[in-house]
Amino acid sequence: MELNSIKPADGSKHYKRRVGRGIGSGIGKTAGRGHKGQKSRAGGYHKVGFEGGQMPLQRRLPKRGFKSQLLKFNAEVTLTDLERLAVSEVDLLTLKQAGLVGEIAKVVKVIKTGELTRKLTLKGVVATAGAKAVIEALGGTVV
């Protein structure tokens, strides 16, 4: 390999078409913009969603719904997940290290889905009424 034989990779460089450079170029005069109108002019174009002055779709439709930004800090864990977890004391850090909840989770709730067969202690983790009943029936506690 020599310095004078180095070329860019195939497809990394492409020919930029120069428009409006005379009749002979094939793209002279109007430069592919057609005749007259807003789209033919320099700097003349509309914003996204503009419908020529007609009330745009996003303003014609009614506003509806709300999604709280705080929901991203909440997480759910099932009894089946806790059964697979090989620890007797469960807290937020344990669940994060096991990958059962996301890193940004602040509030974790245990829901009654699946089965639990061993005693568990929940610290700093909330449980639904059904899940709490199952945990306490096995001799565990929800602190």
* Residue 117, domain extent: 71-142
Residues 6+ apart with CB under 8 A from 19: 25, 27, 28, 31, 32
Task: Determine, yes or no, domain membership for 54.
Answer: no
Provide the CATH number for the domain around residue 87: 3.100.10.10
Task: Determine, yes or no, domain membership for 2.
Answer: no
In tens, the pLDDT along 27-82 reads 999 999 999 999 999 998 888 999 989 999 999 999 999 999 999 999 999 999 99
Which amino acid does the sequence have at 14? H
Number of structural domains (the chain) is 1
Task: Determine, yes or no, domain membership for 90.
Answer: yes
Q: What pTM value is reported for the model?
A: 0.57
Task: Determine, yes or no, domain membership for 84.
Answer: yes
Q: Which two tokens stand for residue 129?
A: 């009424």
